[in-house]
Amino acid sequence: MKHRVMIYMACVLMGALCAACSSRAGDSSKGEAVWTTDSIRSGAPQAMQSSLAHEDVTFRGKNYHTTVSRQADRSLPIVTNEQGEKFVDNRIKLRVECNNRTIVDREFTKNDFAAWVDARFLRYAILEALVFNEVTPSGLAFSASICYPQTDLYLPLRITVEANGNLRIEREELEEAPASVEDSIRNP
């Protein structure tokens, strides 16, 4: 008998909770605010999350420590796509150390790559990422991407950090669908 009373009380309690929740759902202004945590304010520029990555690598018998950090930078010009959505561009900092000595300490924005990227593409794009890629005979290779926000259209770049700290930047060839990016540059 005690068992049935407990089950009955549990059902009554659950029913009361469901009724309370459903009455709240009718209040759209408060209901959405409570349940939506990733909402974006209408008209406010969208920004990527900050990121921080560390890598320890060996090049020519020496140990290197790399740090790449990305921050949305509201001081940079806002990028607006064809639908009128606004995006905050990013500033990415690259730091490379060897034996507690700084080899590279440099910040990048998309404009640092203007010599390798078409100006029409650059206007509607953001600097999306910079990641450590591999150790090559020339140095430490990083991949950077400049893209149209929230799309698959991007231009890959390769930054090689040489042992003396010199940087060499090259535009990489796309492995898939190069025509779609080139078409979007010609027909923005």
Residue 150 sits at the vertex; the CA angle it makes with 117 and 28, to the nearest 5 degrees, is 155
Other Cβ atoms closer than 10 A to 156:
17
| Domain, as residue range, for 18 | 2-35
Q: How confident is the model at residue 44 (pLDDT cuts 50, 70, 90)?
A: confident
If asked whether residues 75 and 159 sit together in one domain, one would say yes
Whether 43 maps to a domain, the answer reads: no
Whether 128 maps to a domain, the answer reads: yes
If asked whether residues 31 and 66 sit together in one domain, one would say no
If asked whether residues 100 and 162 sit together in one domain, one would say yes
If asked whether residues 98 and 68 sit together in one domain, one would say yes
Residue 111 has pLDDT above 70, yes or no: yes
Domain count, the chain: 2
Other Cβ atoms closer than 10 A to 141:
16
If asked whether residues 28 and 87 sit together in one domain, one would say no
Tokens 């020519």 -> residue:
60
If asked whether residues 83 and 148 sit together in one domain, one would say yes
Q: Which of 139, 136, 142, 171 is nearest to 157 (CA)?
A: 171
Q: What is the mean pLDDT of the chain?
A: 80
Whether 44 maps to a domain, the answer reads: no
Give dist(CA 138, CA 110) in Å, integer: 24
Q: What is the pTM of this model?
A: 0.71
If asked whether residues 174 and 86 sit together in one domain, one would say yes
Share of the chain above pLDDT 90, in %: 64
User: DSSP letter at 46?
Assistant: B
